[in-house]
A and B are shown apart, each in its own frame.
Chain A
Amino acid sequence: MSDSGTSLHQAPSSAAVSPLGYPEELLAPGATYSTVSEEIASIPLWRIRSHWWWMGLAASFFLLCVLFIAVGWLFYRGVGIWGVNIPVGWGFAIVNFVWWIGIGHAGTFISAILLLLAQHWRNSINRLAEAMTIFAVVCAGMFPLLHLGRPWVFYFLFPYPDTMGLWPQFRSPLVWDAFAVSTYFTVSLLYWYLGLVPDFASLRDRAKPLALRRLYAVLALGWRGSALHWDRHQIAYALLAGLATPLVLSVHSVVSLDFAVSILPGWHSTIFPPYFVAGAIYSGFAMVLTLLLPLRSIFKLQNLITLRHLNNMACVMFVSGLLVAYGYFMEVLMGLLSDDSFEHAKTLSRLWGHDAAIYWPVLLCNVFIPQLLWSRRARTSVWMLLALSIVINLGMWLERLMIVVSSLNRDFLPSSWGSYWPTAFDWATLVGSFGLFMTLFMLFVRLAPVIAIADVRELIEQQTKSKQ
C-alpha cells in the first residue's frame, strides 16, 4: 500500500489506473497549493452547502437534548433508573464506554502510526480521524463517571492531597483506566491542535469577516510559517506521534484489563488485551468510514479523498477484523479445552445456549458479512463501504454487550442467575451520546479544516517532484 516508491508514478497520464483498479495518484489531477487551500478552507469560511450542515446540526442537537434529559434524571434519581442490578451490575454504561473508546483508536492509528510508517495517504484523512478520536473519547469518558453511584465525587479517582488522607488503589484496573483515558484524551488533543496550528493560520489569512479573522488569529497563535517554525513543529509532531503510538496499544489494553483481571468466566483471559486493541481499530476504521463517506459526498472532496484512500482504509479495517475473528476463535477454543467447568459452560452457552441469541449476531456482523471485503469492487464502492461500516459498528457494539452482560448474567451459583434488560433511560443515554458526538463533529466541520491543508500541500509537492 506504500506510495513512496516512484514506480507508482511512472505513467505519464495523471489519470493512470493501477493494476488493482484504483487511481495511482493519491490526489486527483490538477491539484495545486492554492486549489487545495481554497477547496478545504471553503467549508469553514464560505459555508458552502450549509443547508446540509444545518440539518445535521439540528438532528444532532436534538439527540444532545435527549442526553441532557437522561443524564439530568440520572443525577436526580441515581443509577436505579437503568436496567443494571445484581448479578448484572455493568450494563449499557460500560458497553458504551468500551465501544466509544475503541472507536477513538482508529484516529490515533491513522494519525500517529501511519505517520511514523510514512504512509502518505493518511494526509487526507488524519485530521478528520483525530477529531473523531477526541469526540469519541469525550463520549467514552462520560460513561464511567455517570456509572458511579455518586458522580460528583469522581475526582476521588485521582491522587490529590485530600483531608481524608486517602489514596486511590493503584493496584486496581479502574484507577489505571482513569489514568489511561485522561492521558489519551490530553495527548490526542495536543497532537490534534499542534497539527491544526498551521491550518488555522491559513484560515486566518483567508477569512474575510473581522471576527472570524480574530478567532483564527488567536487559534493560530501567530504562526508565520518561518523555517524555524516548521522545523521545530515537525520535530514536535513526530515526537508526539511517537508518544501517541504506544497509547493506541495501551489504552484498550488497560480497558480490557478491567475485565481480564477479574476471575469471571469469559473475562479472565490472557488474549483480552490484543483482542481488544484489534477490535478497537476495527470499529474505529468502521466509524471513520461512516463519517467520511457522507462528508466526502456532501462537501465534494472526491479530489482529495480518492477511491485509493477508501480502498486502503477498507484493507486496514478488514485485516483488523480478521484479527478480531482470530480472537473469537481462540476464545471458543480455549473455553472448550479448558478444565474450568464455568469457562466451559460459558463457552457452550454462547455457542448454543442462553447467550447464543447475541453471540451469533456478533459473528454475523463482525466476521461473516465483512468477508465481502475480499472483493475489490466492495472496497471501492461508496455505498457498499458505508453499509459495511455501519454493520461493523453495530457488530462491535453488540460484541461489547455480549462480553459485559453474558459473563455477568450467569453467576457461579445458579440461585443468583439473572438477566439484563435495558430501560428507556439506558437507550436514551446511548442515543444521546451520539448527539454529543455528532454535535461536536458538526461544530468541528464548520470551524476547522476537515482535511489537514499543510499535509496535503506536502502530498502535492511529492507528486510534482516524482513527475519530474
Chain B
Amino acid sequence: MTGDLYALMAEFSTPEELTAAVKAAAGNGYSKIDAYSPLPIAGLAGAMGHRRSILPLAFLLGGLVGGGGGYFMEYYAMAIYYPLNVAGRPLHSWPSFIPVTFELTVLISALTGFVFLLIALGLPKPHHPVFNSPEFERASSDRFFLSVESIDPRFSLEETRGFLLRLNPIQILEVPR
C-alpha cells in the first residue's frame, strides 16, 4: 500500500506552527519524522529527538592536532633536524613558534570541523525523495514542512493523514519515493 510513497508532508506558513506540529507528531509516537524550514528554528532538532551534536568535539580535536603537530614540527625542524645557531639564540626558541602554532590550530580545526559537518549531514547528496514533490521548492523560501515517512512503524495512510489534518496545515502532500 505504501510501497512507492516516501512520506506524507504537511505544509505550514510559520515556524511556530511547524514547531507545534513536530511536538504533536513526536507526542503521538511517530519516530520517522523530519521538519524542513527555510530558516533555523531553535529547539526543533531537540524536539525531534536528535541528540546533541559531537561536532564541537571534532573542532576541538582538529585544533589540538593542528596546534600540537604544528609546534612539534617547528621544534623538530629548528632544534633537531636542522639546528641553526642564529646569534646564540636558543634552538628551542618557543616564543617565535607561537604564531605558526596558532595558525595551524585554527586551520586544522576549521578543516576538520567542516569535513565532519558534511559527514554528519550526509552531504553532498544531490538526490533525495523530498525533492520529488514540486511544492517542496518553497521549503527554501517561505514554507515549513513536516514529513512523516512511510517506513514509520505507526504510519498508515488514512490515520496519518487524519492526524496531519488535525494540525491545520495549508495542504498535505503525498511525496513519492
Contacts and interface: CB of A to CB of B under 8 A. Distances in A.
A247 B106 contact: yes
B99 A179 contact: yes
B10 interface: no
Contact of A457 (B39, B102, B120): B39
Contacts of A227: 22, 34-37, 41, 44-45, 48, 50
A360 interface: no
Nearest to B130: A224
Interface residues of A, number: 60
B123 interface: yes
B28 interface: no
Interface stretch (A186-194, A315-323, A333-341, A436-444): A186-194
Interface string A223-240: 111111111111110011
B142 interface: yes
Contacts of A235: 53, 55-56
Interface residues on B, range: 35 or more
Nearest to A460: B39
Contact of A231 (B53, B73, B104, B106): B53
Contacts of B117: 194, 232-233, 236
Contact of B114 (A165, A194, A231): A194
Contacts of A202: 38, 140-141
The interface residues of chain A, by DSSP majority, are classed as: helix
Interface of B: 15, 22, 34-41, 44-45, 48, 50, 53, 55-56, 59, 73-74, 77-78, 81-82, 84, 86, 89, 93, 96-97, 99-100, 102-104, 106-107, 109-111, 113-114, 117-118, 120-121, 123-128, 130-131, 137-142
Interface of A: 32-34, 37, 159, 165-171, 173, 175-176, 179-180, 182-183, 186-187, 190-191, 194, 198, 201-202, 204-206, 217-218, 221-236, 239-240, 243, 246-247, 250, 254, 257, 454, 457-458, 461
Give the 10 A-B residue pairs with the shortest CB-CB distance, closest first. A33-B142, A231-B45, A167-B77, A221-B124, A222-B125, A230-B40, A176-B99, A205-B137, A34-B142, A457-B39
Given A223-B123, A227-B22, 8 more contacts: A33-B142, A191-B110, A204-B140, A225-B139, A228-B45, A228-B48, A236-B113, A239-B55
